[in-house]
Amino acid sequence: MKREELLGEVRDTLIKAGFYVSELYSMRPIGFDLVARRDNSLLIIKVLTNIDAMSEDVAKELRTLSNLLNGSPILIGQHSGIGILRDDVVYDRFGIQTITSETLKSHLLEAIPLEVYAAPGGLYVNLDQDKIKRLRTEQNISIGSFARTIKVSRRTVQMYENGMNASIDVAIRIEESLGTNVTSPLDILKPKILKEIAEKRISEPEGFRKFQRDVISILEKVGYRVIPIERAPFEAVSKDKKEILLTCIDEYNKKLLRKAHAVTSISKVTERHAVLITDKEVNKTSIEGTPLIVKKELKKIRGPEEILDLILERLYSKK
């Protein structure tokens, strides 16, 4: 299956599962393809046929963006350099949970829980440690007897009851011994809280032009912490104590108009305000529904509250 077909299939699955999904757009470079929300679950999705095509830098930025937006990054693919990805197994690519499109479909549309994940050495599951200890105690099974039954050491049993994961083979033996399911499902929809976004200033990518660097400097002086994003329709995420802004910074041209369409769609799905900051005055206060601010205006603003007021004013303007 070609990437475009896979991308369309993933989008259709999300819509059928009740997600509000961003529109498809073709811009390069791009670190994610879709943003999807259902209730409090926000997914930021990259689709590749070969998951090895995701570099560590792209994965790091995807994790950063997901953390800022309180979302879950997911990579969907078909194979790696080693072989075909198995359905109903969660893989990992540089810290990004990775699944097949069929796994996404069965999990979201058929409510089939995800329990198995791939790691060095094979396939594993998370054990319900409290349930294992409770059932073993209720059934009067000693640690030694239990260890012999599931063919591990006494020390390993204690580690399982303290939260260590287990291979599939061992988990099957545990369940046969105790007579019930003892695995804990994986929640790919739940955001992971990461500590990798340092509080110190993140330097702009080398590809940023002087105009973009100047605007970022102004935003920082106004009171925003600005996190540059290289592979998105917007150049940065601007953050203060209350608000997060998807910040598109570019000269006023046809490219900005195309980017505005994508930014508006992403803004609606993420439920975050977006702003377009450009270089020259035009007879518009917004493009595609996203407020437009000129660099000259930005210089007069004294704080994040004034920027937000201007954004809200222009968001509901008819111009």
The pLDDT value given to residue 199: 44
Nearest to 290 by CA among 269, 309, 316, 270: 316
| Distance separating alpha carbons of residues 260 and 241, to the nearest angstrom | 25
Angle between helices 143-150 and 168-178 (to 10 degrees): 130
The pTM of the full predicted model, rounded to 2 decimals, is: 0.91
Q: Do the first three CATH levels of 3-114 and 210-315 match, i.e. the same topology? A: yes
Amino acid at site 255: K
Query: Alpha-carbon distance 62 to 48, whole Å?
Result: 14
Alpha-carbon distance of 38 to 17, in angstroms, equals 9
Determine how β-strand 122-127 pairs with β-strand 116-119: antiparallel
Contact between 20 and 38 under an 8 Å Cβ cutoff? The reply is: yes
For 210-315, which CATH class? alpha beta
Taking domain 3-114, whether its CATH number is 3.60.40.10 is answered by no
CATH of 123-184, one of 3.40.50.10540, 3.40.50.300, 1.10.260.40, 1.10.357.10: 1.10.260.40
- For residue 26, give the nearest of 49, 8, 1 by alpha carbon: 8
- Rg (the chain; Cα; Å): 24
Q: Quote the pLDDT of residue 69.
A: 95
pLDDT at 160: 96
Per-residue burial over 167-190, b if 16 or more Cβ lie within 10 Å, else e, is eeebbebbbebbeeebbbebebbe
**Separation between Cα atoms, residue 3 and residue 26, nearest integer Å:** 12
- Tens of pLDDT, residue by residue, the chain (319 residues): 899 999 999 999 999 999 999 998 877 778 999 999 999 999 999 999 999 999 999 999 999 999 999 999 999 999 999 999 999 999 999 999 999 999 999 999 999 999 999 999 999 999 999 999 999 999 999 999 999 999 999 999 999 999 999 999 999 999 999 999 999 999 999 987 665 554 444 556 666 889 999 999 999 999 999 999 999 999 999 999 889 999 999 999 988 988 999 999 999 999 999 999 999 888 889 999 999 999 999 999 989 999 999 999 988 875 5
The domain ranges of the chain are 3-114, 123-184, 210-315
DSSP 225-265: EEEE-SSSSSSEEEE-SS-EEEEEE--SSHHHHHHHHHHHH
pLDDT at 144: 95
Paired tokens of 5: 């077909």
Alpha carbon separation from 99 to 8, 45, 49, 74 (Å, rounded): 16, 11, 11, 8
Cα–Cα separations (whole angstroms), residue 163 to 91, 120, 126, 259, 274: 20, 18, 8, 46, 42
